[in-house]
Chains A and B, each alone.
Chain A
């Protein structure tokens, strides 16, 4: 028990050190923009479809649920508010982070972990390169940039999903829904969601890279590291979500 606790604390310390080194590598020239762009393509562009499909159906189901759960209140005329606020503040950031994070986080850990166990990371070091600069920093930058962009697009697509259900299933005029969205949705809603997303992106990238760089013991070790990333990133996202939400409430009020 005590040993587990010590190991967990040691890991937190190592993640903190990796964080500092990664951010220093990000801000210090030379900037590896080519590597950033390649990662942004790998992480962001290839996650686009899965992120958008998830948000489209989340928006649709939100509209459906709210109208059916509270039919007597005439809620269907306020579905726009409900869908847009719950999406932007909570569901788009958290679900996108969980879905996309699982995808890109496990990919990052598997890639870096394989490089670790096949000595490619040592090879980088032996050729006088810093693996944090070459491997961690571009992945961190790409996640920090791409995840909020995916959430922004997810917000839009989710609201469109809500619109489809409201118009075609609940038979509410499109104008009513859109007016509702435009009238009620605030910058605060969107920004607080995006603010949280930045933290989620950091958790995904740093946990994934840390687990990858510390993988050992062949394919088995890489598999374990990948699982640890998905579990660690998901738990960090869900726990931090609560505290970040409280924090953003304080800022907004």
Chain B
């Protein structure tokens, strides 16, 4: 069976700065790929190529066999309904209640009646262990709850893939562990392919079925956790053990 995502020779620069340097990789259906890397290594930019939020300068992104690189914005809508995204800040619409936030894509993209919409919203909230928050506004929720509501919203249309952009940034370790567990159960119980971009190592330990380490726009490591632990790459080892790295380039 072919891979769900096939990324070939992806290159992206901002002005003079090369962010992605001929990046090629594949993502299998049902796996949880965690992309690690230092701040500014191009992790989020890579993630945003997968649903066409950003476009590469060259190279291509194939989703389920279809080249989405040069699709017009409106032709990407079909892809985006299958590939949801959880943003770093949660990106809940702050003018809407929790109910309206999660219901928004359902109301707009389906013909379900309001009763069924509310049922879906409640079911998605149960998936992220939240109840009784339907009428709350995003501003009244804690950071962890906002992230969970945002996860519920990204699951609203039963996507095949969820892209997670730094899902635990700004959360305390306990809340981070909850988010990690929810990502894991999204992958295992719902069969959703997950792509997680993070520098949170315990999140990566909990969720990754495959690990990638991005550095200077290229993958310096690609493999499983046991392969990563056995790797003799000093940069990777320093990153995994939270040590300062001295290579003369800092």
Seen from chain A, the residues whose Cβ lies within 8 Å of a Cβ on chain B are 115, 118-120, 122-123, 125-130
Q: How far is the CB of A187 from chain B (nearest CB, A)?
A: 41
Q: How far is the CB of A132 from chain B (nearest CB, A)?
A: 9
Given contacts A120-B93, A120-B94, contact A130 B87 (CB under 8 A): no
B80 contacts the other chain (CB 8 A): yes
Contact B109 A122 (CB under 8 A): no
> Which A residues are in CB contact (< 8 Å) with B92?
120, 123
Most buried by B among A119, A127, A129: A127
Q: How far is the CB of A14 from chain B (nearest CB, A)?
A: 15
Contact A119 B89 (CB under 8 A): yes
Q: Which of A115, A118, A125 contacts B80 (CB 8 A)?
A: A125
15 residue pairs from A and B, CB less than 8 Å apart: A118-B91, A119-B87, A119-B88, A119-B89, A120-B91, A120-B92, A120-B94, A125-B53, A125-B80, A126-B51, A126-B85, A127-B80, A127-B81, A128-B78, A128-B105
Q: Which of B88, B94, B109 contacts A128 (CB 8 A)?
A: B109
Find the B residue at minimum CB distance from A133: B74
Q: In the assembly, what is the distance between CA of A118 and CA of B76, in Å? A: 22
> Which B residues are in CB contact (< 8 Å) with A128?
76-78, 80-81, 105, 109
Seen from chain B, the residues whose Cβ lies within 8 Å of a Cβ on chain A are 51, 53, 73-74, 76-78, 80-81, 84-85, 87-89, 91-94, 104-105, 108-109, 157
Find the A residue at minimum CB distance from B81: A128
Q: In the assembly, what is the distance between CA of A130 and CA of B92, in Å? A: 16
Q: How far is the CB of A129 from chain B (nearest CB, A)?
A: 7
Contact A122 B104 (CB under 8 A): no
Q: In the assembly, what is the distance between CA of A125 and CA of B71, in Å? A: 14
Q: In the assembly, what is the distance between CA of A128 and CA of B68, in Å? A: 14
Q: In the assembly, what is the distance between CA of A118 and CA of B92, in Å? A: 9
Contact A129 B108 (CB under 8 A): yes
Given contacts A126-B85, A129-B108, contact A119 B73 (CB under 8 A): no
Contact B91 A130 (CB under 8 A): no
Cross-chain pair count, CB within 8 angstroms: 47
Most buried by B among A115, A122, A123, A130: A123
Contact B73 A122 (CB under 8 A): no
Contact A130 B73 (CB under 8 A): yes
Q: In the assembly, what is the distance between CA of A123 and CA of B101, in Å? A: 11
Q: How far is the CB of B156 from chain A (nearest CB, A)?
A: 8
Contact B109 A123 (CB under 8 A): no
Q: How far is the CB of B29 from chain A (nearest CB, A)?
A: 20
> Which A residues are in CB contact (< 8 Å) with B53?
122, 125-126
Q: In the assembly, what is the distance between CA of A91 and CA of B147, in Å? A: 50
Q: In the assembly, what is the distance between CA of A93 and CA of B51, in Å? A: 45
> Which A residues are in CB contact (< 8 Å) with B88?
119
Q: In the assembly, what is the distance between CA of A126 and CA of B89, in Å? A: 14
> Which B residues are in CB contact (< 8 Å) with A122?
53, 85, 87, 91
Find the B residue at minimum CB distance from A132: B73
Nearest 6 interchain pairs by C-beta: A128-B77, A123-B91, A119-B91, A128-B80, A126-B85, A119-B87
Given contacts A118-B91, A128-B80, A129-B108, contact A123 B85 (CB under 8 A): yes
Q: In the assembly, what is the distance between CA of A125 and CA of B88, in Å? A: 15
Q: Which of B80, B94, B104 contacts A126 (CB 8 A)?
A: B80
> Which B residues are in CB contact (< 8 Å) with A123?
85, 87, 91-93
> Which B residues are in CB contact (< 8 Å) with A120?
91-94
Given contacts A120-B94, A122-B53, contact A127 B104 (CB under 8 A): yes
> Which A residues are in CB contact (< 8 Å) with B73?
125, 130
Q: In the assembly, what is the distance between CA of A127 and CA of B108, in Å? A: 10
> Which B residues are in CB contact (< 8 Å) with A115?
93
Q: In the assembly, what is the distance between CA of A130 and CA of B77, in Å? A: 9
Most buried by B among A120, A122, A125, A126: A126
> Which B residues are in CB contact (< 8 Å) with A125?
53, 73, 80
> Which A residues are in CB contact (< 8 Å) with B89?
118-119
Q: In the assembly, what is the distance between CA of A128 and CA of B88, in Å? A: 18
Q: How far is the CB of B152 from chain A (nearest CB, A)?
A: 13
> Which B residues are in CB contact (< 8 Å) with A119?
87-89, 91
Q: In the assembly, what is the distance between CA of A122 and CA of B157, in Å? A: 17
- 15 additional A-B residue pairs with CB within 8 Å, beyond A127-B104, A129-B105: A115-B93, A118-B94, A119-B88, A120-B93, A120-B94, A122-B85, A125-B73, A125-B80, A126-B80, A126-B84, A127-B80, A127-B84, A128-B76, A128-B105, A129-B108
> Which A residues are in CB contact (< 8 Å) with B78?
128
Contact B105 A127 (CB under 8 A): yes
